Amino acid sequence: MAGYENMTVQQTREFMGSRKPDEYLLLDVRQPWEYEELHIPGAMLIPLPEVPERLGDIPRDRPVITYCRSGGRSAAAARILAGEGREVVNLVGGASAWQGDAAFGPVDMGLVGIPADSTVEHALAAAYGMEMRLERFYGERVVAAESEDEGELFLTLAGYEDTHKRTIYVSMKR
């Protein structure tokens, strides 16, 4: 598989259901406190900043399903793993979608964790706020990074959030 494949919760459940648990690896790339609050049973925890240095901990002989809270960090991890020639699936919507939080709008816009009964305006405003907070969070991590590579990773992630904010802003103006 070149690159990685995005799958919805339903597609991911079908993917997992068609295999034995030891025929894939479920990889949670969130922080330990997030994992403690909620994780998909059987998941291995490797926070995103640690993925490049812990590639040896991730089996190469089976597909890897990456997930985070909403799909952004896991997409970054999926790119890293796919770049290593691994078969990777990214769970779109992440743990939020897995536990049943609804998305309003196209999945590729990342509008997850917003109640299904929200108005379009409310959903877009909430999504914009989430992206703004994540961009700030990653920006703060750039300053506190312990290495240049870690700093570059957080800078890249902050850039994704800025791109997401612009996409949402354009949608709000329609």
So what's the pLDDT on residue 164? 85
Q: For 45-57, b where at least 16 C-beta lie within 10 A, e where not — what string?
A: ebbbbebeeeeee
Same domain for 91 and 128: no
So what's the pLDDT on residue 65? 97
Question: To the nearest whole number, what is the mean pLDDT of the chain?
Answer: 83
Distance CA 164, CA 131 (A): 7
- The confidence band for 160, taking pLDDT boundaries of 50, 70 and 90, is confident
So what's the pLDDT on residue 60? 94
Q: How many CB atoms lie within 10 A of CB 67?
A: 31
Strands 5-7 and 44-45: unpaired
Question: What's the average model confidence in pLDDT over 24-45?
Answer: 92
Question: What is the number of structural domains in the chain?
Answer: 2
Q: Give the end of a domain, one of 98, 124, 153.
A: 98
Strands 5-7 and 25-28: unpaired
Contact present, 130 and 114 (Cβ < 8 Å) = no
More confident of the two residues 67 and 70? 67
pLDDT of residue 3 exceeding 90 = no
3-state helix, strand, coil in the chain (%, to 5): 55, 10, 35
**24 SS3 class:** coil
Same domain for 15 and 52: yes
State the catalytic residues. Answer: 68
Q: Give the end of a domain, one of 98, 120, 135.
A: 98
User: Could you report the per-residue pLDDT of 132-143, keeping only the tens digit for each?
Assistant: 777 778 888 888
Same domain for 120 and 81: no
User: Could you report the per-residue pLDDT of 68-124, keeping only the tens digit for each?
Assistant: 988 889 999 999 999 999 999 999 888 888 876 544 344 444 444 555 566 777 777
